[in-house]
Amino acid sequence: MPDNNILEMRQIEIQFPGVKALDKVDFSLRAGEIHSLLGENGAGKSTLIKCLTGVHHKDGGTIILNGREIQPQSPQNAIELGISTVYQEVNLCPNLTVAENIFVGRQPMKFGQIDWRTINSRARELMRRFHLDIDVSRPLSYYSTAVQQMVSIARAVDIQAKILILDEPTSSLDDNEVKLLFQVMRDLRAEGMGIIFITHFLDQVYAVSDRLTILRNGHLVGTYNIEDISKVELVTQMVGKDMDTIFNLKRVDVDKDAPYVLTASHIGIPGQVEDISINLRKGELMGFAGLLGSGRTETAEMLFGATKTANGEIELNGKKTEIRKPYDALMHGMAFCPEDRKVDGIIGDLSIRENIALAVQARRGFMHPLSRKEQNDLADKYIKALGIATPDAEKKIGELSGGNQQKVILARWMATDPNVLILDEPTRGIDIGAKAEIQRLMLEMCEKGVSVIFISSELDEIIRCSNRIVVMRDREKVAETDGANCTQEKILAIIAEGAQGAGGTKS
C-alpha cells in the first residue's frame, strides 16, 4: 500500500482528572479511505475524535495533517483546517431552510445583500450529488432525520473538508437510508476524501470500511485491513475477553411448581394497552418481545404504577394489590429500570452513591436517613459487584458512560432486594461487554429467586435468557411461548402475522 496518509496522529496522550483517557495512541487516515474507529463505550473513541476537532487538547503526541503539524484549538479551528464532523444528533437549525443550513455563516453576497438565487441553486446541486432531489427552500424540519443527516454532511463537505468524521451517523436511520448514506460515503471516498466512521453496528463496519482501528481502555489495540479480521476476532479485541465467556449465558431453570409472584389479569388503559394478562413464577425470567410501540413499555409502566391502570387486577404473591404509584410498587418489593435511562433513570447531578441509595432511601422515607457510612457501604458493594468503572463513588452519575449508568440504576434496585424486577431495554445503546454483564446479572438474580421481566428489542437476548416469552403487537399481547424451544423466526412470524402463526400458544 502506498503511504499516502492525509492524517497522522502519533503517540497521542490525553489526561483527565484521575484517568488516562488516551495512552500513546497512533492513528492514521489515508486519502480516499473509509476508516472505522471501534471500541466499547469509554474506550477513547470520542476522546480521540475530540482531540482532533479541538474540543480536548492533547497532553502529548503530534497530529500531522498533509505533512504539517497542527494544533487544533477549537472546533471552528478544526473546520478551518479541513476537518469536519457530523455528530449523531443533527447540529443544524430545524427552522431554517435546507439551503440556509448549508450556507449559514458564509452566505454568498451580491451588492451587499445575500444572494439567495446562488444559495438555492448551489444547495440544490449539492443535494443532487447526494442523490437527493429535494426542495432546498423548505425548512429542514420538514425532512426526515436521514435527509437532515445528509444536509449536515453536505454542509461539512461544502466547506472543502479534507477529512470527514461521522460519529454514529446511522443510529437513527432505517436500512434504505443507511444504504444511501453508504453510497454517499463511497462517492466522497472516490473523490479522495478521508472518512473516519464511528458506529456500534459491526455489520456496517464490514459493509463500508477499508480499514479499522480498535481502541480499548484508552490504548490502541491495532489497525487492520477489513479483510484481515473476522467479526469474532474483532469483538474479542474490542472487549478484551473471549466471545465464548461472554455468550456462555444460559437461562436459569425454573421449578414448574414455583408459586406465582405476580399475576396481572386483564389490565389495561383504554386507548393505550388493552387486556394484558400475565403470570410470573418465582425465579422466572419472562421476556417481552415486540416492536417499539407495541405496548411493552406501557405494560411495564402499568405493572409498576408509573401510569395508573384503568382496568383489571394485579395480584402479588396471591393477594390482590393496588399499585397506584411507583412508591406502592417499591413497597411491595418491585423494581423497575426504565427504558430511557437518561430521561427517566439517572439523577444526573447526584453522585453514584446518592443514585444507588435513592430507592432504598425512598422506601425508608426521608425521616429515616441512611447514614453516610451505610450509603458508602452500599455504593462500594455494588460498584464492586457490578464492576462499575469509576474512580470513586462520589463521581456524578451523569459523567459515566451509558453502560455504567445502567449498572448504577440496576444497583439502585438490587439494593432494595426486590422480588420482581422489571427491566425495560436495559441493554440498549451500551456496548457488547456491558450488555453481556447486564444479562449475567439478570440471570444471577433469577437464580436467587427474583422474578424478572425483561423487555428488549434484541430477540437473541430475549431467547437466550427467557423462560417464557410474551410477544406483543399493536398494543396487545398476541402470544406467549416457551423460551426453551423458541427461535427468532418464530417470534418474527408471530409479530408479522399475529397469534395464528408459528406455534404460539394464545393465552
Partner 1 sequence: MKQRLNLSVLMRSKVTWAVVAEVLILIVCLIVRPDFFSISYQPSTGMLYGNLIDIVNRSSEITIIAMGMTLVIALGGTDLSVGALVAVAGAIALKFLRWDVTVYNTPGDYTVYPFFLVLVVPLLVCIVMGLFNGFLIARWDMQPIIATLILMVCGRGIAQILTNGKQFTTGYSPFRVIGQGSFLFLPMPIIITAVVVILVSLFVRKTAFGTFVESVGINRKASRLSGINAQLIIFIVFALTGFLSGISGLIYSSRIMSNDSNNAGLNFEMDAILAVVIGGTSMTGGKFSLLGTVLGSIIIRTIVTLVYYFGIASEATMAFKAVIIAVVIVLQSEPVRNYFSKRAASRAKLANGGVK
For partner 1, the binding residues (CB under 8 A) are: 304, 306, 325-327, 329-331, 336, 338, 343-350, 354, 358-359, 361-364, 366-370, 412
Which amino acid would we find at residue 446?
C
Tell me how far, at minimum, the Cβ of 358 lies from partner 1, in Å: 5
Tell me how far, at minimum, the Cβ of 306 lies from partner 1, in Å: 6
Nearer to partner 1, 201 or 327 (CB): 327
Nearer to partner 1, 139 or 398 (CB): 398
88 close to 145: Cβ distance less than 8 angstroms: no
Tell me how far, at minimum, the Cβ of 361 lies from partner 1, in Å: 5
What Å distances lie between residue 370 and 331, 347, 462, CA to CA? 17, 18, 36
The residues pairing with 396 across neighbouring beta strands, listed in sequence order, are: 351
198 close to 37: Cβ distance less than 8 angstroms: yes
Tell me how far, at minimum, the Cβ of 73 lies from partner 1, in Å: 16
Nearer to partner 1, 60 or 192 (CB): 60
Q: What are phi and psi of 99, to 5 degrees?
A: -65, -45
C-alpha cell at 482: 416457551
Nearer to partner 1, 140 or 408 (CB): 408
What Å distances lie between residue 211 and 3, 62, 86, 208, CA to CA? 14, 22, 20, 9
Tell me how far, at minimum, the Cβ of 388 lies from partner 1, in Å: 17
479 close to 290: Cβ distance less than 8 angstroms: no
Tell me how far, at minimum, the Cβ of 367 lies from partner 1, in Å: 5
Nearer to partner 1, 288 or 304 (CB): 304
143 close to 180: Cβ distance less than 8 angstroms: no
Q: In 3-state terms, what secondary structure has residue 335?
A: strand
CA 316 from centre of chain: 33
Nearer to partner 1, 117 or 324 (CB): 324
Three state DSSP letters for 225-257: EHHHCCHHHHHHHHHCCCHHHHHCCCCCCCCCC
Instruction: Give start and end residues of each alpha helix (H) in 8-103.
Output: 45-52, 75-81, 98-103
Nearer to partner 1, 229 or 335 (CB): 335
Tell me how far, at minimum, the Cβ of 264 lies from partner 1, in Å: 19
